[in-house]
Structure 1
Amino acid sequence: MIFFKAKTSWSNAEFIIIKLCMASAYILIGSYFHDFFKDFYVPLLILFGITTIWFIILWLKKMTNRA
């Protein structure tokens, strides 16, 4: 599929969004096994949701600008 072969250029600032998204997911997964982060479930879920949506919007904009 051409969809998976498409290449885009990303700035370092735009990578911060995906890094925050992945980091919040890793902490959520890790917090399932440890009680240290149990008080932060809601803020981490909110952070994960916002950064995921933000990343997808940026990615779709780059894909549509390329076409």
Structure 2
Amino acid sequence: MEFFKIKTSWSNAEFILIKLCMASIYIFIGSYFHDFFKNYYTPLLILFGITVIWFVYEWLKKMKTKNA
């Protein structure tokens, strides 16, 4: 179980690959199940908006404490 205790630091540029990987599977799933998700556009956009604002807030807070 030592594998789960390993700590690494990643730069933002290194996250590009994982972001592209996740975005491509999201687009694939979204295009495959388009009719199913059509009824949930509004709640999904609201959830997306809330999580984006929350993520940016946490990120800015982390950057501020790192620089202080």
Length-normalised TM-score, structure 1: 0.53
Bigger radius of gyration: 2
Residue of structure 1 in register with 2:30 after alignment: 30
Does 1 or 2 have the higher relative contact order (CA < 8 Å, sep 6+)? 1
- Identify the residue that residue 41 of structure 2 maps to in structure 1: 41
Which blocks of at least 5 consecutive residues in structure 1 are unaligned? 7-21
What's the counterpart of residue 59 of structure 2? 59
RMSD (CA atoms): 3.1
Please give the secondary structure, in 2, of the residue aligned with 1:54.
Answer: helix
Quick one: distance in 2 between partners of 1:49 and 1:41?
12
Q: Cα gap change, 1:39/1:31 in structure 2, threshold over 3 Å: closer, same or farther?
A: farther
Structure 2: distance between partners of 1:51 and 1:43:
12
Gaps of 5+ in 2: 1-10, 13-21
TM-score, normalisation: structure 2: 0.53
The Cα of 1:34 is off from its aligned counterpart by 1.6
Amino acid at match of 2:65: N
Which 4+ residue blocks in structure 1 deviate beyond 3 angstroms?
none
How many residues are aligned here? Answer: 45
